[in-house]
Every structure is written in structure tokens, then in C-alpha cells.
């Protein structure tokens, strides 16, 4: 407290403010001029205008702008005319700075919002694409399961037909067909678990399976029956050929 009191005593009186140029000019008129020349700088409080004692008041009147700050109204020495702490100019600078900062913030915010929106859109597009891709991948997995399941039925039936056949060439061939179908069956189930062909079935294996089954039917005169109907070798995702073409290749001799 004591220190503050001492500081307050030592502090110079606040500088007088002259609102208008006319207020300053009045200081320069007549008897006032000598008093004016003793005035102190509004910033450093040192005598500022002694030099004017030797100058005509008329000349000094023409130079008001060189020792008076129109913004804060203070009289200033040569050193401080352009370097004083002008709260009015500072406030204006601060106002402009703040305005700029606010503008920059608003701009950054706007850009962030736009980026967030663009990111969300891109993520939605990617998600849709991923879902579509996943749907396609999982559809093909189902199709590979379908052909693997059919190959299991055929391999099992070929084994049964081979075991039931009378010993001879037909049985030998049925055993060979069973061995081949069994290998195909393993291969097709491997394609379900760890596909080497992502978006299709193993057509080579499937075609061989179809030929094996056709041959087994020829040898036995039998077919596999599923739920009361002969096993359908048509791949359900492909268009079914018109009935007249179902007999296979056209008869070239006809």
C-alpha cells in the first residue's frame, strides 16, 4: 500500500488533451505563447517547446501537426510526436487486428466445416462402394459354396455307385470318376475358404465336374435326386438357356 501511495505521488499529472486544432492555436495566441513554450511532452513529460521561444508564433501556428496528436489530443516533443503511446491509435489498431483475427477465425471455421462436409461425403461414398463391393464379394462366396455343395453330392454319389457297381470296367471307371470328383470337391471347398478367384467360380473345376457327372449318369443310367427332382446342374445366377438348346451342342450330322 505504501509503495502504491509513493508511486501515485511520483506519477506526473495526466497530460492535458486538446480536442481540436483551434484549441491548440489558442495556446499560441498573444500572451499564451510564452506559457505554451514551457509546456511538457504528453508522453515523456520533459519540456518540449523551448525551441519555439526563438520562433515567431505565426510559424509555429503553421506547424501544429508536428507537435500535436489529433487522435489523443496531446502535445508532444519531437521525439514522441510519431512514437508516443497513443491509446486512440492503439485502440484503432487493436480493433483492426481483432477484426482481422475474427475474419481469419471465421474463415478457418468455414474451411473446417467445408472440409468436414467433404470428408463426410467421401466417407459415405466409400462406405457405399465398400458395401457394394462386400455384397458382390459375398454373393460370389455364396456361388462358390453352391458349386462346392453340388460337387460334394456328386462325389458322394459316385463313390456309392462305384461301390455298388459290379466289378469290371464300369466300376473301374466309376472309381476313377469318384477320385476325380473328390479332388474337384476339395478344390471347390478350398475356393470357398481361401479363394484364388475372387469374383467368380472355378469354371475349369466345375466343367470337369459336369463332364464327370454326365459320364457317371451314362455308366449307371441313374441320376442324383434332390427333394424329388433330378439334381439341377444349371448355375442359378446365369440365364437359363432356352429349352431347345438344353440338349447341348446341335447335332452336326443333321
Binding site for Zn ion (CB under 5 A): 41, 43-44, 69, 71-72, 77, 80, 86
Q: How far is the CB of 16 from Zn ion (least distance, A)?
A: 13
57 versus 73: smaller Cβ distance to Zn ion: 73
Instruction: Copy the grid coordinates of residue 44.
Output: 515523456
71 versus 182: smaller Cβ distance to Zn ion: 71
Q: How far is the CB of 100 from Zn ion (least distance, A)?
A: 22
Q: How far is the CB of 90 from Zn ion (least distance, A)?
A: 9
Q: How far is the CB of 7 from Zn ion (least distance, A)?
A: 21
Q: How far is the CB of 8 from Zn ion (least distance, A)?
A: 22
The residues near 223 (Cβ < 8 Å, ≥ 6 apart) are 217, 230, 231
19 versus 169: smaller Cβ distance to Zn ion: 19
Q: How far is the CB of 92 from Zn ion (least distance, A)?
A: 11
76 versus 147: smaller Cβ distance to Zn ion: 76
In three state form, how does the secondary structure of the chain look? Answer: CHHHHHHHHHCCCCCCCCCCHHHHHHHHCCCHHHHHHCCECCCCCCECCHHHHHCCHHHHHCCHHHCECCCCCCECCCCCCCCCCCHHHHHHHHHHHHHHHHHHHHHHHHHHHHHHHHHHHHHHHHHHHHHHHHHHHHHHHHHHHHHHHHHHHHHHHHHHHHHHCCCCHHHHHHHHHHHHHHHHHHHHHHHHHCCCCCCCCCHHHHHHHHHHHHHHHHHHCCCCEECCEECCCCCCCCCCCCHHHHHCCCCCCC
93 versus 106: smaller Cβ distance to Zn ion: 93
39 versus 80: smaller Cβ distance to Zn ion: 80
Amino acid at each position: 500500500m505504501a509503495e502504491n501511495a509513493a508511486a501515485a505521488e511520483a506519477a506526473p499529472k495526466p497530460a492535458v488533451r486538446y480536442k481540436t486544432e483551434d484549441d491548440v492555436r489558442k495556446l499560441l495566441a498573444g500572451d499564451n505563447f510564452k506559457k505554451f513554450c514551457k509546456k511538457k511532452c504528453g508522453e515523456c513529460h520533459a519540456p518540449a517547446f523551448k525551441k519555439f521561444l526563438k520562433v515567431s508564433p505565426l510559424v509555429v501556428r503553421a506547424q501544429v501537426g508536428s507537435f500535436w496528436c489529433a487522435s489523443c489530443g496531446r502535445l508532444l516533443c519531437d521525439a514522441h510526436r510519431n512514437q508516443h503511446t497513443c491509446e486512440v491509435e492503439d485502440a484503432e489498431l487493436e480493433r483492426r487486428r481483432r477484426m482481422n483475427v475474427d475474419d481469419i477465425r471465421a474463415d478457418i471455421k468455414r474451411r473446417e466445416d467445408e472440409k468436414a462436409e467433404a470428408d463426410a461425403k467421401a466417407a459415405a461414398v466409400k462406405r457405399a462402394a465398400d458395401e457394394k463391393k462386400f455384397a458382390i464379394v459375398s454373393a460370389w462366396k455364396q456361388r462358390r459354396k453352391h458349386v462346392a455343395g453340388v460337387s460334394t453330392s456328386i462325389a458322394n454319389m459316385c463313390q456309392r455307385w462305384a461301390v455298388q457297381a459290379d466289378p469290371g470296367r464300369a466300376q473301374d471307371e466309376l472309381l476313377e470318376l469318384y477320385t476325380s470328383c473328390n479332388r474337384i470337391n476339395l478344390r471347390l471347398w478350398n475356393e470357398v475358404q481361401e479363394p484364388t478367384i475372387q469374383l467368380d467360380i472355378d469354371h475349369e473345376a466345375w466343367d470337369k465336374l459336369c463332364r464327370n457327372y454326365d459320364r457317371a449318369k451314362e455308366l449307371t443310367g441313374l441320376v442324383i435326386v434332390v427333394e424329388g427332382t433330378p439334381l439341377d446342374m444349371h448355375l442359378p445366377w446365369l440365364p437359363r438357356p432356352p429349352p431347345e438348346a438344353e440338349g447341348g451342342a446341335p447335332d452336326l450330322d443333321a
